[in-house]
Structures are given as C-alpha cells and as structure tokens.
Amino acid sequence: MDRRKIRNGFAWVLSALLILAFLIASVPKLLGAHVWIAKFANWGYPEWFVFFIGALELLGAVLLLAPRVAIYGTGLLGIIMVGASYTHLANGEGLEVVRPLVYLVLLAMMVWLRRPAQG
C-alpha cells in the first residue's frame, strides 16, 4: 500500500474524529446550555459570545468535511483553541488548558497529513 493512501486514510479518520468532537462541543453552546453561559460569564465574556463560539465551532467542523476548504476549518478551529487555551490560563484553570492544546496538536497533524505530496 502506498504512503499517500495511508496518509490520506489517517487524515480522513482524524478529520472524522475532529468533526465529531467539534460538533459535540458546538451543540450545547448553540442551544444556550446554562453551564456554558455560566462558564463564559465567569470568564468575563458576554452571553452572546457563547453562541458565537458555538457557531464558529460548527462552521469549522463543516469546513473540515471538504478537503478543499478543510484548511480554513483547521485555521478557524485552531484560533478558537488558542483563545480557549488563553482563557483557561488567564483564569487560573491550568489543567483545563490540556484539552484545547490536544485539539491544536490534532488540527496541526491534520494539516500535516493533508499537505501536498513531496516529489
């Protein structure tokens, strides 16, 4: 089996997992779950920001579906994960920063797997 097919297979599996993760993360925010509204308020963000982040997470997940625009989805979701990391660190939630950092690594892996073949 050639490396390009293996790499492409890994990229699709990773994409599917990331799509699922960000869909699961976006739904409660879009539905206005009290726990998310309370968390965002505790972090100093306005209530509308919960819905905004949920919508961006959903958009990023949808963009990951199409290889031609997946790079935009990874960029968007990467920016959100950097913001989440900063929010957790700025609020003294040290261990909470692990999850967005793991997602950042997985998003970077997806970009690397989908890069054009060399040679």
pLDDT tens track for 58-95 = 999 999 999 899 999 999 999 999 999 999 999 999 89
pTM metric for this prediction = 0.92
CB 100 within 8 A of CB 84: yes
| Confidence bin at 1 (pLDDT 50/70/90) | low
pLDDT tens track for 34-54 = 999 999 999 999 999 999 999
CB 49 within 8 A of CB 40: yes
